[in-house]
Amino acid sequence: MPTITTTDGTEIFYKDWGTGQPVVFSHGWPLNGDAWDNQLKLVADNGLRGIAHDRRGHGRSTQTYVGNHMDTYADDLAALIEKLDLRDIILVGHSTGGGEVARYLGRHGSERVAKAVLLGAVPPIMLQSDTNPEGTPLEAFDGIRNGVLADRSQFYKDLSVAFYGANREGSNISDGTREAFWLWSMQVGVAAAYDCVKQFSESDFHDDLAKIDVPVLVVHGDDDQIVPIAAAALKTAEIVKDATLKVYEGAPHGIVGSSYEQRFNADLLAFAKS
């Protein structure tokens, strides 16, 4: 099982498929690198090298009690990139993974990076405040933390509904998709899952976004019930110097469904090849 070891002894699991220009994927909470399997195969089939890791505390990486912090997530990503000596990278981050990508670029710069993709990503900041009235109230994130501690199995089953828009009229999200979400979520250590809520909701990425000096594709569904577009992509696209915004009408948060996923796959490949 391929892993790298960080400076604090955490083992980070990763998948590495194909050859060519590397496309490095960062997953959302509370999932793992398996959520990117379709995209890993897509890029590998098209002459690129797809790499996806499990964030610390998630999936097959070390079940960490400490270090569950956005800065550490970015440093773990840097450790993976440096260990594999990746260059001319296309970074792709979904949800919390989008925050990880932004923080990586803010902390480590773009020397090894050619482009980035932020999909349904949490920057610039999710938490509602006087300066961010479009954000999500703290009570909602407290509810997530309570759900993780009280009955995480049922909580993750329930969360998959909004995540994939299964509560919308006409939704054809399969039971299998929701069960896969539950399975991946149950592999997260409780401590890491709990800590990560604060990281994806309260981390302020304004400074990170302002430092990004590579082209960025910003993609977001306008029916995202997890990371509302008004507080996220619409603001991110205004901050990043070289951003291209694509809004997917009616799309949920999770990357699934014939129209959403196929459109994203086409846009990802086009952006990678441009």
Which residues does the annotation mark as catalytic?
95, 224, 253
H helical segments located in the chain: 37-45, 70-83, 96-108, 138-164, 175-185, 190-202, 206-211, 233-239, 258-273
Cβ(197)–Cβ(145) below 8 Å: yes
Q: What are phi and psi of 78, to 5 degrees?
A: -60, -40
Cβ(58)–Cβ(186) below 8 Å: no
CA quadruple 132, 213, 112, 227: dihedral, nearest 10:
20
H helical segments located in 5-64: 37-45
Helix (H) or strand (E) holding 189: none
